[in-house]
């Protein structure tokens, strides 16, 4: 059954596959009609996969109303052929530049599609100039963001979720769309890997958000998702994995039978999936990848999952940032304080990009970038990037201060001095913010504005540097080193705040001063100790940033030796500090210290130094660290 009404040459084809989706349709189309992009620039293509509820009746009843709004409407119904095959049916009917795949159990923000199309158009223009061909642009999901990792500066990701994703139609047709043998779940990963296998890049666009109501509660186990995704994982290993990853997939699948059942009838349904696996695996093994591209498999995941998957983003009515914007003062200005030096243009470019990509700015939260170039006076090597950033108008304010060579502390203090924001955070040029860093931290601080600071989790990234300038590197491993709730006695013992992970009130600088000029390392630890003497901090259990450490063993040992030396200097400084405490506060601190003494009595830095200095232990250190990280994720 089909209804077509052609009006204008549309910019994008919207592909929808429904199955018993009646309860979602009203809200879905209501949010779609509120898009900034007029619907008469959208060609609507709907396939109903044999719904047994009133989904198709609803669509048929609304057909005339939909035809009045969209550039064209095509409505079809057939047997349930699966998610991917359904979109392939719609793809064959598409003649637009872009092909927009979306679920109907979600709602759009007004600028979702305009933001996606703007980013896509920029990437298409860049591709015409010889840069990488991007084939897909994925939306961010709320209230729970998909936890898979992406590059904070470029937005590149290993795979795109098809809950809401914009494709370049030409690229999608070139790879023949979705794999029809994957009925449900995993088909989006397979398509992403096939696009990458043919040389395309994929991008995550956090500023384009949708509200996806896929979970009734956080960490919900859905039987169909469990069964479909585990089957797909093994089949994808057959096509894209290395030999040991293929074998591992089959072993992992058989191990599922030994698990405690997660839902009724799990083992019986797994047995059915096993027969499907034996039937489909030969085809996937015969159609192996064509390129030398590296496709990752991490147990049942495909890529590293960012910690904090079920951090819940508030909607507009509940958002502290939205509420603050509606007050006389408006949302608080955030000053991002960045230190750099000449000869680090590549690192600086990525760090600035991670600030520009902040969703806080997209929510009209004012961001001020303060860039201090240590040794830049008379050189001003960072000035071209700053001029381009000012011209773009993306940030509320940009301040650039070149200094004679003075050191990290002087540069940091100068940034604190000239900053005008109520809230501040540091971002050195070799560190990066994920796109939601400021959105999350500012939102949490607005809930408790009496806090001196809030801080989130941050990855330590072992980085193999191939070239400093141009900036060419390889991320070897991400590790979550610090996960410490705020504790003064723990902070007095050692630092557990990566510098870029902390958002603090600028009044703390005005009241307590800046970095101690005697400390060229661990200067941030000393700063947090002083700032926390009279102010409380709060941990947010979500990874929102990363900092880099050297992968080369020699550099790592030298770095650790320097930190050990400055640890003693910083401790001496801390011994001179005085703090006023009430009796209950003293009792609480005594209890915390007592618990720590029962748990651990060896400084982590000392233990790490011993391990790295012992040849046998040194060879085991990094592999053991990697497997411990994987084991923690499995346990969680």
* Residue ranges per structural domain of the chain: 12-212, 223-286, 320-601
Contact 154, 353 (CB under 8 A): yes
Instruction: Identify the burial level of 516 via C-beta atoms within 10 angstroms of its C-beta, where 0-12 means exposed, 13-18 middle and 19 or more buried.
Output: middle
If pLDDT is split at 50, 70 and 90, which confidence band does 554 have? confident
Asked whether residue 614 carries a pLDDT value surpassing 90, the answer given is no
Local confidence band at 3 (pLDDT 50, 70, 90 cut-offs): very low
| Average model confidence (pLDDT) across the chain | 90
Residue of 235, 239, 226 lying closest to 267 (CA atoms): 226
Pair 186, 229: CB distance under 8 Å: yes
The whole-angstrom separation of Cα 332 and Cα 505 is 10
Output the pLDDT for position 4.
47
CATH 3.30.70.20, applies to 12-212: no
Identify the pLDDT of residue 454: 98
Same CATH fold assignment for domains 12-212 and 320-601: yes
Given a cut of 60, is residue 605 above it in pLDDT?
A: no
pLDDT value at 541 more than 60: yes
Contacts of 6 (CB under 8 A, 6+ apart): 71, 72
Determine the pLDDT at residue 556: 78
Residue, of 485 and 590, whose pLDDT is higher: 485
Q: Between these two residues, 372 and 520, which has the higher pLDDT value?
A: 372
Residue 509 pLDDT more than 90? yes
Among 145-159, 531-545, 549-563, 622-636, the least confident range: 622-636
Residue 188 has pLDDT above 80, yes or no: yes
pLDDT number for residue 215: 63
Distance in angstroms (rounded) separating the CA atoms of residues 401 and 413 = 12
Q: Give the C-alpha distances (Å, rounded to integers) separating 307 from 102, 230, 540, 541, 550.
A: 26, 21, 11, 7, 22
**586 or 11, which is more confident?**
11
Give the CA count within 13 Å in the CB-facing half-sphere of 215: 15
The answer to whether the peptide bond before residue 594 is cis (omega within 30 degrees of 0) is no
Would you state the pLDDT for residue 382?
Answer: 96
Reply yes or no on whether the pLDDT at 6 is more than 60: no
Rounded-to-integer distance, Cα 383 and Cα 376, Å: 9
Output the CA–CA distances (angstroms, integers) from residue 575 to 93, 496, 563, 572, 579, in the order listed.
73, 19, 18, 5, 11
Question: Who contacts 197 (Cβ-Cβ below 8 Å, separation ≥6)?
Answer: 240, 289, 290, 291, 293, 295
pLDDT digits (tens, 9 = 90+) for 283-303: 999 999 999 999 999 999 999
The answer to whether residue 8 scores a pLDDT higher than 60 is no
Predicted confidence (pLDDT) at residue 401 exceeds the cutoff of 70:
yes
Does the pLDDT value for residue 163 go beyond 60? yes
Structure confidence at residue 447 as a pLDDT band (50, 70, 90): very high
450-505 residue pLDDT tens: 999 999 999 999 999 999 999 999 999 999 988 999 999 899 889 999 999 999 99
Q: What is the dihedral of CA 373, 379, 381, 386, to 10 degrees?
A: 70
User: Which residue, 462, 585, 606, 572, is CA-closest to 533?
Assistant: 585
Q: Which of 514, 503, 509 is nearest to 537 (CA)?
A: 503
Find, among 28, 35, 10, 163, the residue nearest to 98 by Cα.
10
Q: What is the 3-state secondary structure (H, E, C) of 501-517?
A: HEEEECHHHHHHCCCCC
Residue 11 pLDDT greater than 90, yes or no: no
Mean pLDDT on 567-584? 85
Q: What's residue 636's pLDDT?
A: 46
Nearest CA to 555 out of 610, 612, 500, 605 is that of 612
Whole-model pTM: value is: 0.89
The angle at the Cα of 469, spanning 465 to 471, to the nearest 5 degrees, equals 50
Q: In this model, does residue 180 exceed pLDDT 60? A: yes
Q: Computed from CA positions of residues 621, 623, 625, 628, in that sequence, does the dihedral angle turn out positive or negative?
A: negative
CATH class of 320-601: alpha beta
pLDDT in tens, 89-144: 999 999 999 999 999 999 999 999 999 999 999 999 998 888 889 999 999 999 99
Confidence of residue 622 (pLDDT cuts 50, 70, 90): low
Is residue 174 a contact partner of residue 166, using CB atoms and an 8 Å limit? no
For residue 216, pLDDT over 70 is answered with: no
pLDDT, position 1: 46
End-to-end C-alpha distance for the chain, whole angstroms: 48
Q: What is the H or E stretch that residue 108 is in?
A: strand 106-108
Percent of the chain with pLDDT over 90: 77
Which range among 50-64, 527-541, 564-578, 614-628 shows the weakest confidence by mean pLDDT? 614-628
The helix (run of H) or strand (run of E) holding residue 136 is strand 134-142
Is 335 in a helix, a strand, or coil?
A: strand
Q: Tell me the C-alpha distance between 36 and 38, whole Å.
A: 6
What does the DSSP 8-state code read for residue 535?
A: S
How far is the C-alpha of 435 from the C-alpha of 162, rounded, in Å? 20
Give 629's pLDDT tier (boundaries 50, 70, 90). Answer: low
- pLDDT(68) > 80: yes
Residue scoring higher pLDDT (541 or 617): 541
**Other residues' Cβ atoms within 10 Å of the Cβ of residue 500:** 28
Residue 250 dihedral angles phi and psi, to the nearest 5°: -65, -40
Identify the pLDDT of residue 557: 80
Summarize the confidence of residues 184-194 as an average pLDDT: 96
Nearest to 478 by CA among 236, 151, 189: 151
Our CA angle for 277, 279, 282, nearest 5°, is 90
Residue 218: predicted pLDDT: 55
Q: Is the pLDDT of residue 278 over 80?
A: yes
């Amino acid at each position: 059954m089909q209804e077509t009404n052609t009006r204008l040459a549309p910019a994008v084809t919207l592909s929808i596959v429904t199955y018993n989706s009646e309860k979602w349709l009203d809200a879905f189309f209501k949010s779609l009609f509120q898009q900034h992009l007029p619907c008469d620039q959208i060609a609507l293509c709907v396939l109903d996969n044999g719904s047994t509820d009133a989904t198709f009746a609803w669509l048929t009843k609304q057909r005339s109303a939909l035809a009045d709004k969209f550039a064209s409407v095509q409505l079809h119904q057939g047997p349930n052929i699966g998610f991917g095959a359904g979109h392939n049916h719609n793809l064959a009917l598409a003649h637009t530049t872009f092909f927009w795949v979306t679920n109907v159990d979600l709602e759009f923000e007004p600028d979702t599609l305009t933001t996606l199309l703007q980013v896509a158009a920029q990437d298409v223009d860049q591709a015409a100039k010889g840069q990488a061909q991007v084939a897909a642009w994925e939306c961010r999901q709320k209230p729970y963001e998909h936890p898979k990792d992406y590059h904070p500066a470029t937005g590149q990701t290993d795979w795109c979720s098809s809950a809401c994703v914009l494709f370049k139609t030409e690229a999608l047709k070139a790879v023949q769309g979705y794999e029809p043998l994957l009925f449900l779940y995993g088909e989006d990963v397979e398509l992403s890997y096939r696009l990458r296998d043919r040389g395309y890049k994929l991008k995550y666009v956090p500023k384009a958000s949708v509200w996806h109501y896929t979970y009734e509660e956080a960490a919900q186990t859905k039987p169909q998702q469990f069964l479909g995704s585990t089957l797909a994982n093994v089949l994808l290993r057959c096509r894209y994995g290395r030999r040991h990853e293929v074998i591992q997939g089959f072993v992992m699948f058989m191990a599922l039978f030994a698990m405690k059942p997660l839902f009724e009838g799990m083992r019986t349904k797994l047995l059915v999936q096993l027969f499907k696996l034996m039937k489909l695996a030969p085809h996937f093994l015969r159609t192996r990848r064509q390129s030398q591209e590296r496709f990752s498999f991490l147990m049942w995941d495909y890529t590293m999952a960012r910690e904090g998957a079920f951090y819940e983003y508030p909607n507009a009515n509940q958002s502290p940032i939205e509420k603050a914007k509606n007050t006389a003062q408006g949302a608080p200005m955030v000053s991002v304080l960045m230190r750099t030096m000449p000869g680090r243009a590549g690192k600086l470019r990525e760090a600035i990009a991670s600030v520009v990509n902040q969703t806080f700015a997209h929510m009209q939260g004012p961001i001020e970038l303060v860039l201090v170039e240590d040794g830049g006076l008379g050189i001003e090597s960072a000035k071209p990037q700053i001029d381009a950033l000012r011209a773009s108008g993306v940030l509320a304010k940009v301040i650039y201060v070149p200094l004679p060579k003075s050191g990290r502390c002087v540069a940091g203090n100068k940034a604190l001095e000239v900053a005008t924001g109520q809230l501040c955070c540091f971002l050195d040029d070799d560190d990066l913010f994920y796109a939601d860093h400021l959105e999350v931290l500012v939102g949490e601080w607005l809930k408790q504005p009496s806090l001196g600071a809030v801080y989130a989790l941050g990855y330590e990234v072992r980085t193999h540097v191939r070239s400093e300038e141009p900036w060419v590197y390889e991320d070897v491993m991400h590790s979550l080193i610090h996960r410490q709730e705020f504790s003064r006695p723990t902070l007095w013992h050692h630092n557990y705040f990566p510098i870029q992970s902390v958002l603090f009130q600028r009044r703390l600088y005005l009241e307590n001063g800046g970095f101690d000029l005697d400390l060229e390392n661990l200067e941030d630890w000393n700063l947090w100790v002083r700032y926390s003497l009279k102010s409380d901090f709060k941990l947010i259990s979500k990874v929102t940033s990363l900092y880099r450490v050297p992968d080369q063993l020699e550099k790592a040992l030298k770095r650790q030796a320097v930190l050990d030396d400055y640890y003693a200097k910083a401790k001496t400084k801390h011994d001179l500090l005085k703090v006023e405490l009430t009796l209950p506060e003293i009792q609480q601190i005594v209890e915390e210290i007592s618990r720590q003494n029962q748990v651990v009595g060896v400084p982590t830095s000392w233990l790490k130094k011993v391990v790295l200095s012992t040849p046998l232990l040194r060879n085991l250190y990094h592999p053991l660290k990697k497997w411990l990280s994987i084991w923690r994720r499995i346990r969680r």
